[in-house]
Structure 1
Amino acid sequence: MFEKEKLQELKKNQTDWNDNKVEKSLQRFPERKDEFVTGSNQEVDRLYTPTYLEEFDYDQDLGFPGEYPFTRGVQPTMYRGKFWTMRQYAGFATAEESNKRYKYLLEQGQTGLSVAFDLPTQIGYDSDHALSEGEVGKVGVAIDSLKDMEILFDGIPLDKVSTSMTINAPASVLLAMYIAVAEKQGVSSQELRGTIQNDILKEYIARGTYIFPTEPSMRLITDIFEYCSEEVPGWNTISISGYHIREAGSTAVQEVAFTLADGIAYVEAAIKAGLDVDKFAPRLSFFFNAHNDLLEEVAKYRAARRLWAKIMKERFGAKNPKSMQLKFHTQTGGSTLTAQQPDNNIVRVAIQTLAAVLGGTQSLHTNSKDEALALPTEKSVRVALRTQQIVAHESGVAETVDPLAGSYYVESLTNNIEKEAMEYIKKIDDLGGAAEAIDKGFMQKEIMDSAYEYQKQIENGERIVVGMNKFQVKEEPNEGLLKVDPAVGEMQKEKINQLKAERNNEQVEASLSALKDAAKGNKNLMPYILDAVKAYATLGEICGVLREVFGEYQQNVIL
């Protein structure tokens, strides 16, 4: 793209500029620190010029939006045609309370739902299980059966709203409940749109809400791929998640590398199960974090898109361009929020929103200012949603596609992140793939080392967090925080008791027995799970049957 003679001349001119102008300036105005780095400790040079992009090829490295390698976005016109989906992650206490919050958000202009489930639901236990005590409804909504799911979406037309569900180990059960609720609304599964997270590998790496060992977990995932390709074709069957990897302390490069390595493992598992790559790959989606280093984050999304396109085309032989598109949801960085001076979090979230939009996200959740302290109030959720709406309608950044393309710094960062992420992926391949690398503790150790380094920089003052380790003020205790009523646990127990008294228990036992037999064989389990859900078997009962057959995953201790 650049003439070699011109580059040589530019290098000479830059050396002269550095020796004369810069050195004189430094004598009068020394730079703030000896070394400048990104949020992920990538070295940042003083000035970026075309010399950083000597091998840059527009067609191969950028291309046009909506065309391979999709660096500039997956749609030709991006937000000029339609804004990203504004999808606020929400759910707490009971299905009744969460239903009210969803309706409120839709009234405020939200364009998609995103369901947060409580911890017992995430690990496949009913609210009356001993291990659920004290956790029911705390970090999300409690869903014990189809009855709860019916209440959760009461009055919300599932043929008109797309829904994302952050659920992993029991994803097949919650998806079955969603399909069953739609049927009761008269909505065919063919009409449903949404995403199920369904990413178990990142649970082993970073988050911890796993149930079953690796092999049966991968089977459940590929069963969903196969089932949805025919029965729920508009559904994104997995959201391969780097968000939690970043929340655990990874760098931007590690977030891209480990997320795409997990994606490779899922594609390989599906192909091994006999699925055609161009049949399931268009329904794969991704989920990334948005951190504070705005330009590094923009480069991260662009690098991830280009790298995934190359992987799908060159490694897996995908022919359909949609199989090569990395479509992703973004959530602003929960781990960047501070309990100190929480109003500052509004500014952090605005910066992270810009990063996600400039990076070409397909949907976005913006965190609320009080989430370092508690579940968000209605008022703080509204401010978070308004942040997206202001960026969409007032900032001007959505008026053109990929507005930072061609920036020497951004393109250089994009290239570096892609290169270093690919080096990580090669290491993971050498270890036998993502599942083997997880069992050996490779990714966990890399993340722990990065998290330790980041925290050390904060504690010694190398990295400034405004209001926390610098610019502190004396603060009054925070008031008006949302608190979940402890009685929610007892209310859910009563619901379960009433359900079991009213349902056809013979039908439940028959459906669970059929599921158990199918789990022992190699049949697709989704139809059996759907039958059990429709009979009003509880989440815990269904997961309990699968625990009996599959066993439970035991995490290795990594030091």
Structure 2
Amino acid sequence: MTPGISPATERTPRFSTSVSANARLRELVDRGARILPLLVDRPTASGLDSDAPPALGHVGRAGVAVDSIDDMRVLLSGIPLDRVSLSLDVDAAAAPLILLYQLVAEEHGVPAARLRGSVRGDVLKEFIAPGGTCLFPPAPAMRLTRDVLRYCRISLPRWDVLSVCGHDLAEAGADPAQEVAFALTNGIAYVRTAVSAGVNADTFVPGLTFCLSDGGSRTEVLAKFRAARRIWTRAVHEQFGPDRAGRTGPRPGGPSPRSAPPPRGGRPWRRADASREIEAAAVALMDSIERLGGAVRAVERRFQSTILPGTGHPPGPSGPFGMEARGDEARAAHRGQSERLAKLRAWRVQSAVDDALARLAEAARGDGNVMFPMRSALAASATVGEICGTLRGVWGSHPPRAARP
């Protein structure tokens, strides 16, 4: 799907190429837009190349395929990158896409320090919501988040790389208290990770955004937001120091759930004291998560996902992509992108790619920042799938291969 399409249309099997997406971005710039939304297709978001077998029928569907620096070059051609901000709608595969954007911008003569952009990067949410795109197990996923934060703090200081998406949890069936509890514990985990990466909490916490669902009755929505703000302010004050919450707090920003089931037990959350009721239930859940060792450990034990209505399928590239699209558009998108990849691999210097991927694997085995060797590999024309495949070879995949059906 091309950028700028409404969320409702986003769910239809539309197909996009880097050429058509570039035309749409140029159109938005000509209309005066300075924030350019970009959706990538499901294979890209899952760290798979377009010619990988699971990608068949999904290449360019509801987003654009970005397999390599060549695709990013086409996508950004003619865009004044020093005057716009790119909004990337991606979580687990954020790292290589951020670097591809930076590499192409520098080819355009725009230094990294002048680049603006944002990416969701909410990897923990992907483990909780059914059908999430989980590239690695939870602990390595947070390691990559740490490396992204470290890298962007120095190299891309005007990029926002985290937005906590509670609304996706509501769409997965979370009631208001569950949505608040899971989103805020994820937020706490990200702040802890940022602090461990050397990011100053005074600058990171106020910039962290929470997007909660605005679905439900007005009374329920207002009660949920009041509860969430109180809990977050108190948690930040207690764990990271006074006054660090600043003006940060949950805000509406996600679509209303399409078909979220009613809260378990039929609780309507509509009484005058509903915010206190939601707060008490959310705090109880957060305390349970903290006793397990925090959001990451709870995710590893599937605490959150077992509470929500599930699909019975594991999240991630090995899980269901949804109904495979068939027809001329699907075949043309797959064929076109596969041909681009074949040409890329024929023309690049394979030894340089192999060396760069080996350095990436070495950094992943140690404690070095993987963003630097990842950048070198992408500059040498390694693909997003090769990058993610190299990291999976070191960190493992999710779910573990032995657990896959």
Shorter-chain TM-score bucket reads 0.7 to 0.9
**1:233 counterpart residue number:** 157
Q: Does 1:286 align with 2:214?
A: no
Q: Is residue 190 of structure 1 aligned with residue 113 of structure 2?
A: yes
Alpha-carbon offset, residue 550 of structure 1: 0.8
Partners in 2 of 1:88 and 1:317 — Cα distance? 40
Task: Determine the structure 1 residue equivalent to 2:180.
Answer: 256
Residue 181 of structure 1: aligned partner: 104
CA contact (8 A) 1:92 1:142 kept: no
- 1:545 is aligned, of 383, 390, 394, to 390
Instruction: Look up the equivalent residue of 2:285 and give its one-letter code.
Output: Y
| Structure 2 counterpart of 1:507, one-letter code | A
- Aligned with residue 166 of structure 1, among 78, 89, 112: 89
1:189 positional shift: 1.7
Report the Cα distance in structure 2 between the residues aligned to 1:193 and 1:306, rounded to whole angstroms. 31
| Deviation string, structure 1 residues 300-353 (Cα, Å, up to 9, x no partner) | 33433332222212222155454x61365713225259xxxxxxxxxxxxxxxx
Indicate the residue corresponding to 1:102 in structure 2. Answer: 25
Structure 1 residues 175 and 188, CA gap change in structure 2 (3 angstroms): same
Q: Which residue of 2 is the match for residue 141 of structure 1?
A: 64
Give the secondary-structure state (helix, strand or coil) at the position aligned to 1:486. Answer: helix
Alpha carbons of 1:435 and 1:536: their partners in 2 closer, same or farther (altered >3 Å)?
Answer: same
Greater Rg over alpha carbons, structure: 1
Unaligned segments of structure 2, at least 5 residues: 261-269, 312-327
In structure 2, do the counterparts of structure 1 residues 419 and 495 end up closer, same or farther at CA, with 3 Å as the change threshold?
same
Name the structure 1 match of 2:138.
214
Q: Secondary structure at the match of 2:387?
A: helix
Partner of 1:536: 381
User: What CA deviation, in whole Å up to 9, does each residue of 1:237-261 have, x standing for no partner?
Assistant: 2112212211111112211110111
- Separation in 2, partners of 1:448, 1:431: 21
Is 1:490 the counterpart of 2:335? The answer is yes
Cα distance in structure 2, aligned partners of 1:538 and 1:229: 25
Q: CA deviation at 1:134?
A: 1.4
Distance 1:531 1:287 in 2: 34
Paired position in structure 2 for 1:512: 357
Q: Is the 8 A contact 2:211 2:251 kept in 1?
A: yes
Change in Cα spacing, 1:286 to 1:191, as seen in structure 2 (3 Å) is farther
Q: Give the distance between the partners of 1:285 and 1:487, measured in 2 at CA.
A: 38
CA gap of 1:494–1:169, structure 2 versus 1, over 3 A, is same
**Distance across 1 between alignment mates of 2:227 and 2:329:** 41
Q: 2:180 and 2:32 mapped to 1: Cα distance?
A: 31
> In structure 1, what is the Cα distance between the partners aligned to 2:89 and 2:168?
11
Q: Does 2:306 align with 1:445?
A: yes
The one-letter code matched in structure 2 to 1:259 is A
- For residue 500 of structure 1, the aligned residue among 319, 332, 345 is 345
Say if 2:170 is the partner of 1:246: yes
Q: How does 1:394-433 map to 2 (within 5 A)?
A: 412-433=273-294
Q: CA deviation at 1:92?
A: 4.4
CA distance in 1, matches of 2:222, 2:144: 34
Counterpart residue identity of residue 543, structure 1: C
SS in 2 for 1:335: coil
Q: Which stretch of structure 1 is more off in the superposition, 417-426 or 99-108?
A: 99-108
Match runs of 1:28-427 below 5 Å: 92-107=15-30, 111-206=34-129, 207-317=131-241, 319-320=243-244, 322=246, 325-326=248-249, 328=251, 330-333=253-256, 335-336=258-259, 412-427=273-288
Deviation at 1:484, TM superposition (A): 4.6
Do 1:291 and 1:336's aligned partners in 2 also have CA atoms closer than 8 Å?
no
CA-to-aligned-CA distance 1:145-196 (integer Å, 9 cap, x gap): 1111122222222222222212222211111111112212222222222221
Report the CA distance shift for 1:134/1:307 in structure 2 as closer, same or farther (over 3 A): same
Distance (Å, rounded) in 1 between the aligned partners of 2:6 and 2:29: 10
The 8 Å contact of residues 92 and 98 in structure 1, kept in 2 or not, is answered as: no
Residue 109 of structure 1: CA displacement? Answer: 6.2
Q: Is the 8 A contact 2:236 2:244 kept in 1?
A: no
* AA at the equivalent of 1:252: P
Q: Secondary structure at the match of 2:331?
A: coil
Task: Find the residue that maps to 2:308 and give its secondary structure.
Answer: helix
Distance 1:216 1:448 in 2: 26
* Equivalent pair of 1:87/1:114 in contact (CA under 8 Å): no
Question: Which one-letter code corresponds to 1:487 in the other structure?
Answer: A
- Between the aligned residues of both structures, percent identity stands at 37
- Counterpart residue number, 2:264: none
Opposite residue 333 of structure 2, the aligned amino acid is: V
Q: In structure 2, do the counterparts of structure 1 residues 318 and 196 end up closer, same or farther at CA, with 3 Å as the change threshold?
A: farther
Change (3 A) 1:535 1:277: same
Following superposition, the deviation at residue 105 of structure 1 comes to 4.3
Question: Once the 2 structures are TM-superposed, how far is the Cα of residue 108 of structure 1 from its aligned partner?
Answer: 5.4
- State whether residues 35 and 86 of structure 2, in contact with CA within 8 Å, keep that contact through their aligned partners in structure 1: yes
- Are the counterparts in 2 of residues 225 and 280 from structure 1 also a CA contact under 8 Å? no
Shift of 1:413: 4.0
| Farther-moved stretch of structure 1 (537-546 vs 106-115) | 106-115
Aligned residues: 369
Q: CA separation in 2, counterparts of 1:275 and 1:495?
A: 39
TM-score, normalized by length of structure 1?
0.61
Structure 1: stretches of 5+ with no match in the other structure: 1-85, 338-408, 452-482
Rounded Cα–Cα distance in structure 2 between residues aligned with 1:202 and 1:310: 22
